[in-house]
Structure 1
Amino acid sequence: MHQRAGREVTRTYWAAGAAVVLAVLFAVGATVATANGPDGRGDRAALAAPALYSPDAGFARDMAVHHQQAVEMSFIVRDRTQDEPVRGLAYDIANTQANQRGMLLGWLDLWGLPKVVADEPPMSWMQAGEGHGGHAGHGAAKPGALMPGMATKEELERLGAANGRDAEVLYLQLMTDHHKGGVAMAEGCARQCATPAEKALAQGMVEAQQSELKLMEDMLRRRGAAPR
């Protein structure tokens, strides 16, 4: 029974990850095509870097931070349980989000923009593009968390101290919250970002993380628990 559940998790995660893989391939192709241009000389207008406070730049900065915490939580839980489905999911999330984070930071480098802007509040790019409270429907960041969906320092400490089923359930609950916040951010970029490659990557994130949310709900149910 356990092996069958593990195979089901792997198949489900593969389907979820396929959208991200396709988005990454599209993003790379679009970036190369834009850089080269139809005549090989490049299109200066298309290559114009996004503005410092644009949705394109703000999403890249915020999602890079958001992804970093997902990677951190995934490495924590791999040391706190021997459950192969959870460890496999954690590995795949860490690997996928680390790669996506690298792409986002790489774009900032290509655009000549900083990775951190001291006077830029988190999520301000969404508020600027959709009015104040543009992401309010997905909930504000809880006290002690930098952005919606992110875990607090205390929650990360609880995860690091848990073992076995307790660690599995807490990780799945924290990652469910994390994905909901991430989906809201990616939906915002899919609507507001102007860079085609980044919009494609954001839409791929939405589709993959929505699939992962269903997977994690099922994994929680198998453990007699539910999302918070």
Structure 2
Amino acid sequence: MTISTKNLNELPDALGLMRLTQSLAVLDAILSPEWEYRYYSFNHAWSDGEMMASMRDGSGDQWFAIFCAAGVALHGVVHEAPAFRPGHPLPAIFNCLPKAFHANLLHEPAFTTQDSTFCIWRLDNEERWSCGPIEFSTDGDPDGSAQLLNILAGRPEQYVEFAKNYYERDLNLSDVSAIYRHQPLSEALGQRLNPELDLESLKEDLAEIGYPMLDLDGR
């Protein structure tokens, strides 16, 4: 079943989501040396004690996730969604957002929450994801959450399909699965994913993402 605010059961827990979004960021960094063309990014030192993951499609649709001691919160913007109210998000989107996320997500200028169409969160001491109690009169995907969140189901074949459509690259499922497992990136694995990759130039990206890499001599 598709992940959306109507069904958050398939989302991983906070640690699982952190590792998954790191993997997505690494795969994008491998396939696209130019940062501005990437969909996914991750900063494991976003601010003191906090990490940040994001998705931007280049057309304004996006999500941002903040990982902190309180847990994790993610908001998204889909401009074609019926819930899109630029500058005036539906109040219920954030009415129940725990105060622990207000400063680092809701009031963070970089995250453009003034345009949000949905927000989800999970406190560290909770076992389920939550979202605001919004009732829509339309079927389908009224807040755009299904469009943006389904990649977070954590299935490597989803990224294989994404890479084929967006980067026009046919990736081996086992190689993508290795990144999803956080297997340290070797030169051989990087070259299989992108034969044009200069692994040395990827060091700064991997350090920012917080993803392990083998030494260039394979150790």
TM range (shorter): under 0.3
Q: Which protein has the bigger strand share? A: 2
Q: Whose RCO is larger (CA < 8 A, sep 6+)?
A: 1
So what's the TM-score if we normalise by structure 2? 0.25
